[in-house]
A and B are shown apart, each in its own frame.
Chain A
Amino acid sequence: MHNKTIAELAKGLRSGEFSSVELTTAFLDRIKQHSSLNSYITVTEDLALQEAEAADLRLAKGDAELLTGIPIAQKDIFCTEGVKTTCGSKILDNFIAPYNATVVNKFNNAGAVMLGKLNMDEFAMGSSNETSYYGAVKNPWDINTVPGGSSGGTAVAVAARLTVCATGTDTGGSIRQPAALCGITGLKPTYGRVSRYGMIAYASSLDQGGPMTRSAEDAAIMLQTMAGFDEKDSTSVDLPVPDYRAGLSKKLEGLTIGLPKEFFGEGLNSDVAATLEAAINEYRKLGAKVTEISMPTLKLAIPAYYVIAPAECSANLSRFDGVRFGYRCENPADLADLYTRSRGEGFGKEVKRRILMGTYALSAGYYDAYYIKAQKIRRLISEDFKRALSEVDVIMGPVTPSTAFGIGEKIGNPIEMYLSDIYTIAINLAGVPAMSVPAGFAGGMPVGLQIIGNYFAEDRLLNIAHQYQQVTDWHQQMPKGFE
């Protein structure tokens, strides 16, 4: 049961092969069995069974939607009414959200069954899931390695079949990088495609929620529910949502793929490069034309990102002050003490590092040199993507420089850690959509292929990924011990 796709499970629920309660129970059992992976922060067992019962009623009545009764899990960055919402931080360890994120509401309305809340890097700041207050998450392909981050809990839960599908968020690669390192399919939609309301902000101009699944088809089904304008989010875009599944079967003859030479140079592990080459060859076989392109601004992405994202986060995280909700220090002497200790004790190292960097970048005298300059670079990067995507249909490249690294290997070296997002960050700065698709293995560990498309071309990306998944089975591989 746990190995089926959403479409297969939906069929099974309708044919009476199993009920949502049975399905949910099976996943809850698996979660318990594999709790050592640490992918869940909160398992909402009782709530899940209630929702499953309600879903079974809906199915019986015949007014069920495709996702009705399907187990899903939420990254713990999405507010869930009445359920602890921690964002991976001590500062929100006691926070029960009083409202639902728009995305959560949409899944609830569709009748999906929430199994729980997934582990993540604290406030989505990290590339290894090691910055979580709730501890590192283990990669099921090798439990000594990281799953990537910040949506590490999500990637592991999907890869280890501890949920059918789950949400992630991506500010600089937080969906794609863990998807690649765990061998699953992840889609970061165009900025504005999915509502950010109720998704705890890290860097508001970059954050975007998206689906993390085993297959492109499942991602299409999830995105169908997630996408759309939300009047509560002024940055969500009021454009019609296409039928993502309907476009999946389109053939790829004549597709033009651009490979930026900047993506395949120094720094890319040679085994990963070879794996990607094989994947791109598959696309040639499917009728695509592949050309090398140049995107000279890509190398500017990391420095620009590490100004803009921390700058925004320095303001976004000011509300965690110990006054109205969340962690408050013991016996504050005065207001300044309340602030300093609540925040000092409540936030982890990486979060503090980014708040400090951002505060510095926005300070009087530095603003022009850092923030304004980074914004200029951001515009150049966007223009570079627009230009490239007017020449080719999609851009392909690596998601990560290497396969999953060891737990503890990079956590002491922020710069090295930041470089693990070198291929993903520019996409967020430009705002275009991108996917990570399982493309094979290097040294027994999963490798992801990144597919980058034009604004609001999620349907095209899903189609391109789906066609590849029709001729390969990388996305169906299961880590040993989790079959």
Chain B
Amino acid sequence: MNTQWETVIGLEIHAQLATKSKIFSGASTAYGAEPNTQACAVDLGLPGVLPVLNEEAVRMAVIFGMAIEAHIAPYSVFARKNYFYPDLPKGYQISQMELPIVGVGHLDIDVDGVVKRIGITRAHLEEDAGKSLHGNFHGLTGIDLNRAGTPLLEIVSEPEMSSAKEAVAYMRKMHELVRYLGICDGNMQEGSFRCDANVSVRPKGQKEFGTRAEIKNINSFKFVEKAINHEIERQIEVIENGGAVVQETRLYDSVKDETRSMRSKEEANDYRYFPDPDLLPVLIDEDFKAQIKAQLPELPQAKKQRFKDDYALDEENATLLTSSRPLADYFETVVKESGCEAKMCANWMTGDLLAALNKADLEITDSPVGHERLAGLLKRISDDTISGKIAKQVFEELWQSTATADEIIEAKGLKQITDTGAIEAIIDKIIADNQDQVEQYRSGKDKVFGFFVGQVMKEMQGKANPGEVNKMLKEKLK
């Protein structure tokens, strides 16, 4: 990128709230049902129907507001955003305009080890629209209103990010947070978490913002980065070629890796917002806030610090293990159940377990090896029943079967041999058979020591206690 330009990015994230029913009706929000089977009279916008606010959605918005240390509005108002579209049944979307439920807050992001605080302007509740289906409908467009009325929390950031990398870090952090809070499942393929990016460029040092373009509906971290970088390049190119950036809405095409114009400001709608007379203002008192505060889960930042302090984890492991609540819970359970050193538990999780999960493309919640069985394995390492190396073999078995570590060790005869007599006999044999290496070792080639350890272990099929083997070998080779 040309160094004389700087970028200004603000994100609007739409997080679908994990309520069971819709924000203004009793219809289910479950994903993937047959078209229009989860759209009731209210969702269809039939004549005469009225919206009734789902209190759970309000609760979730307040939880979010508290997590970003935002002002929670004691009085917020739903407004109608008017526009015609076939997937918008009432011809208006119920949203919040002047008085959103969540006010100014912030989120700290970490880019290359530097922490940056990103301001959050507001977060408001609104209903999602349905979707148009362009399938085989005899030349007509189909409309599926299952999604209509699904609760969304629109989280608007300040234009305070200056690179695609920061934008991605912010989006990831937000993704982690909403999942932590249990208010959004974060499923990006299903559209539960998506964002619009407002991007502009300006000459370095200039105070005024450049004209921005809004890239709509980006639903993956990878696409956010690509779309923003692409848009930055496009805008710089336009300006450097003597043109001007047009304020407009653009769409990111992930196949062609480009953004293209959807509509310009001139064609933009006048949404004619006004307070929805069908809904009462949302009043949030101190009691309600105190109630929610008491139920607020430990937030990622605090949890990470605690993992470092209480479990003596390094930055990397602490970050990794607190990246999701189920993962952190799994870790703490394993530590508790195994009674093992936390660091060893962490290494096993971030090493073997996460590698296996990644390979199988599974989340921790779907792990074939539950915390009980992993704890069972770690217990046997720390009490010297098996060596670390054998443990890896046992882990493979845990992954493939439903047996416990003890059952596997028993069935496969993997118990570590600590019988010094048996080990001694093997060592004597190895020394006798490898006189050349004995000479080398004794003449100062310490490296050969590893050869002896390897031979002994091989002979004993890895089951010898490595500590014992080391000790005895050293003695015998003196």
A residues lining the B interface (CB < 8 Å): 78-79, 85, 87, 92, 95, 97-99, 101, 196-201, 203-205, 231-235, 311-312, 314-315, 317-321, 323-325, 335, 339, 359, 362-364, 367, 371
Contacts and interface: CB of A to CB of B under 8 A. Distances in A.
B82 A318 contact: yes
B89 A319 contact: yes
B280 A335 contact: no
B239 interface: no
Given A318-B82, A319-B91, A367-B274, 15 more contacts: A97-B46, A197-B48, A198-B48, A201-B278, A234-B52, A311-B274, A312-B274, A314-B272, A315-B80, A315-B90, A318-B90, A318-B91, A323-B143, A324-B45, A325-B46
A321 B84 contact: yes
Helix, strand, loop or mixed for chain B's interface? loop
Interface of A is mostly: loop
Interface string B48-68: 111111000000000000000
Nearest to B52: A234
Interface in B135-153: 143
A168 to B, nearest CB: 16
A92 B91 contact: no
Contacts of A320: 47
A315 B280 contact: no
Nearest to A338: B86
A95 B48 CA distance: 12
B54 to A, nearest CB: 11
Contacts of B51: 234
B277 A324 contact: no
B383 interface: no
A197 B92 contact: no
Contact of B53 (A79, A101, A197, A234): A234
Nearest to B53: A234
Give me the 7 closest cross-chain CB pairs, A-B, nearest first: A318-B91, A205-B277, A362-B272, A204-B277, A198-B48, A319-B45, A200-B47
B47 A92 contact: yes
Contacts of B274: 311-312, 315, 362, 367, 371
A331 to B, nearest CB: 12
Given A99-B41, A234-B53, A363-B270, A79 B91 contact: no
A98 B41 contact: yes
Contact of B277 (A200, A312, A339, A363): A312
A318 B92 contact: yes
Interface of B: 41, 44-53, 80, 82, 84, 86, 89-92, 143, 270, 272-274, 277-280
Nearest to A101: B48
Nearest to B85: A335
Given A367-B274, A371-B274, A232 B50 contact: yes
Contacts of B48: 78-79, 97, 101, 197-201
B82 A362 contact: yes
Contacts of A78: 48
Contacts of A325: 46-47
Contacts of B47: 79, 85, 87, 92, 95, 97, 200-201, 319-320, 325
A315 B45 contact: no
Nearest to B78: A234
Given A197-B50, A318-B90, A324-B44, A234 B84 contact: no
A402 B366 CA distance: 77
Given A200-B47, A324-B45, A371-B274, A232 B84 contact: no
Nearest to A322: B86
A100 to B, nearest CB: 10
A347 to B, nearest CB: 13
B92 A99 contact: no
A215 B365 CA distance: 68
Contacts of B44: 324
30 contacts: A78-B48, A196-B50, A198-B48, A200-B47, A201-B47, A201-B48, A203-B277, A204-B277, A231-B52, A233-B50, A234-B51, A234-B52, A234-B280, A235-B50, A235-B277, A314-B82, A314-B272, A315-B92, A315-B274, A318-B92, A319-B46, A319-B90, A319-B91, A321-B91, A323-B86, A323-B143, A325-B46, A362-B273, A362-B274, A367-B272
A108 B143 CA distance: 34
A167 to B, nearest CB: 13
A41 to B, nearest CB: 15
A190 to B, nearest CB: 16
A232 B45 contact: no
Contacts of A196: 50
A198 B49 contact: yes
Contacts of B270: 363-364
Contacts of A363: 270, 272
B364 to A, nearest CB: 40
Contacts of A311: 274
Contacts of A85: 47
A362 B273 CA distance: 7
B50 A99 contact: no
Contacts of B273: 362
**Which of B90, B272, B273 gathers most chain A CB within 10 Å?**
B272
A471 to B, nearest CB: 41
